[in-house]
Amino acid sequence: MRKLSWFNVTSLFLGLAFLYLPMIILVIYSFNGGKLVTVWSGFSTKWYVVLFHDQAFLNAAWITLKVAVISSTVATLLGTMAAIVLVRSGRFLGRTLFSGMIYAPLVMPDVITGLALLLLFIAIGIDRGILTIVLAHITFSMCFVSVVVSSRLASFDQSLEEAALDLGCTPFDAFKSVTLPIIAPAVISGWLLAFTLSLDDLVISSFMSGPSSTTLPIKIYSAVRLGVNPEINALSTIMIAFVSVGVISVSLLSKRSIARRQREEQEAIG
Amino acid sequence: MRRAGLILAPYLWLLALFLVPFLIVLKISLSDQALAIPPYTPTLDITAGWQGITDWFSGLDLENYWFLTDDDLYWKAYRSSLKIASLSTLMTLLVAYPIAYGMARTADEWRPTLMMLVILPFWTSFLIRVYSWKAILSQEGLLNQFLMWIGVINEPLVILNTTTAVYIGIVYTYLPFMVLPIYAALEKLDGSLLEAAEDLGCSRLQAFWLITVPLSKQGIIAGSFLVFIPAMGEFVIPDLLGGSKTLMIGKVLWEEFFTNRDWPVASAVAVVLLLLLIIPIILFQRNEQKNREADG
């Protein structure tokens, strides 16, 4: 599979243009001075000023961030446990059901998950609010974490951990000092994935939220339903910048750590 | 002991917050709408003992499901969701395959960068990416301005608030889900197979059809499920881009719940949608399991 033809180059170029043009346009128009979003009327940062004085948005952003940090942390813990069970536990009663419950939420339409969880919370009498949003987010994002971590666990040589056990480690120590460092990158990307999913969720949060728990996506949704809104363009630009810096730095860091590991392996052999 | 704890924590969590909620949806879909809190009857009254339980059972019926078959709206919404989801999965595949193919043929040092470029949109907000098309597709939007400026059209096209916009939205937002599994399959493909095919007299196109496509089947299947299943119940894209004319079942469910406050009918809509999706979901799970075991 080598040799790039003009066809390959064109399809890559068009594909990336399709993926990025809408976002680039959004970023450019966030610096538009006029209120009309499709007519350019000079460079201005006024929508950013408007945004930073909008208390409702700032409150929503704060709630969203809190929900995302708490839910992604719990989801990472539960998801990693589930991954270990999936990869290591062999057969146990209800294994098929368990793996079904891990994979189904990955593709389950949000409207169904949201409705089902809401009806549960109402049946057991928990008021809608931040707590219910957090519980819902943990539930679907732990499945994503578990898939990410289990693919890493499956490719990892279990004899390393057995060696540690033979050398007198307790199972917990062996896990902590051998397995955990190896699966750590997957656990971290699982956390990041859970964090992003939580930040991004509109539909499930809408079912879960009460009057005092409006999250950022709910706020954005109600603002853009009726049309294009310059304040939202500014907010989107900030979010896109944030994600880009994050993704690029994580991939640079992982590139460097792979290079370092290869160098160390070379030195160890040579 | 420790192993039991390890299994039980995630297991019980998913049972309580994933499986049980579906049973409740099923139960409420058999109830009747009521002007009360919660807005349905009957509610189970354990304190009334056996009498309470039998009363509860006799209050359940299939009325809401009959209602779904009575009203044309639901049938049309399911059909149009099915059509939109299948066609857009096919379109996503057609757009994604050349991209994944190009990525797999790029030199090793470029691959991580391309990979990152494909993943990055996936990390940015879904809602914002859907919203970004509003400014492009509207009547006075940038696409129409551009097309009129180069003189292809004289009058602006109506794209926003039509099904076309929904197709564009689905292909755009789900593209990374299709590109990545196909790329993962193509990356593993052994180039010498293609050389062998060409040595044996295959044209490049024949070699592509006979070797590359079948060997990337796993990726195509995984990608198609990842697009089709969520697209079936999609709410945000038809709501923001499709306007009032686009009928999709996710939107009907949403309106039934939030606007009409008819929870039993919303539950019945959800149950039927789930029945339509249960086979694809099981196939998806099998496929993932098989892929993982093949990798491990």
B225 at interface of A, judged by CB pairs closer than 8 A: yes
Q: Which domains does chain A have, with CATH numbers?
A: 55-229 (1.10.3720.10)
A220: pLDDT strictly greater than 50: yes
Domain positions in chain B: 66-295
Min Cα separation B223/chain A (Å)? 11
pLDDT at site B57: 66
Written as six digits, the tokens of B252 are 């009907």
**DSSP 8-state class, residue B18:** I
B78 touches chain A (CB under 8 A): no
From chain B, pick out residues whose CB is under 8 angstroms from the CB of A12: 99, 102-103, 106, 114
How far apart (Å, rounded) are the C-alpha atoms in residues A123 and A146? 28
Q: How many residues does chain B have?
A: 296
Residue A2 has pLDDT above 60, yes or no: no
The answer to whether the Cβ–Cβ distance between A228 and B257 falls below 8 Å is no
Q: Among residues A29, A206, A248, which one has the least CA distance to residue A114?
A: A206
Could you say which architecture CATH assigns to the domain B66-295?
Answer: Orthogonal Bundle (1.10)
User: What would the pLDDT profile of A247-267 be if each residue is shown by its tens digit?
Assistant: 888 888 877 877 787 787 778
For chain A, the residue count is: 270
Mean pLDDT for chain B overall:
86
Model confidence at B268: pLDDT above 80: yes
Alpha carbon distances (Å) from B113 to A96, A220, A252:
38, 31, 10
Cβ neighbours, 10 Å, residue A188: 14
Which residues of chain A does B180 touch, with a Cβ-Cβ cutoff of 8 Å? Answer: none
Chain A hits for B189, CB-CB cut-off 8 Å, are 1
DSSP string, B121-163: HHHS-HHHHHHHHHHHHSTTSHHHHHHHHTTS-SS----TTSH
Share of chain A above pLDDT 70, in %: 97
Residue among B13, B101, B295 whose CB faces A78 most closely: B13
Residue A1: pLDDT over 50: no
Q: For position B56, what pLDDT does the model report? A: 67
d(CA B111, CA B95): 19
Closest to B95 (Cα-Cα) out of B28, B18, B15, B175: B175
Q: Which of A4, A228, A240 sits opposite B106 (nearest CB)?
A: A4
- Please state the ipTM of this predicted complex: 0.86
Chain B residues with CB inside 8 Å of A109's CB? 229-230, 232-235, 250, 273, 277
* Closest residue in chain B to residue A207, using alpha carbons only: B258
Helices (H), chain B: 2-14, 20-29, 49-58, 63-70, 72-105, 111-123, 126-137, 142-149, 163-187, 191-199, 204-207, 213-215, 217-232, 236-241, 249-258, 263-295
Read off the pLDDT of residues B27-40 as tens digits, 9 standing for 90 and up.
Answer: 888 887 765 666 67
Residues 27-56 on B with a CB inside 8 Å of A are: 28, 38
Asked if the model's pLDDT at residue A33 lies above 50, the reply is yes
Q: Which of A60-69, B127-136, B281-290 has the lowest mean pLDDT?
A: B281-290
Contact check, Cβ <8 Å, B116/A139? no
Beta carbons of A23 and B124 less than 8 Å apart: yes
Q: Decide if pLDDT at B175 tops 50.
A: yes
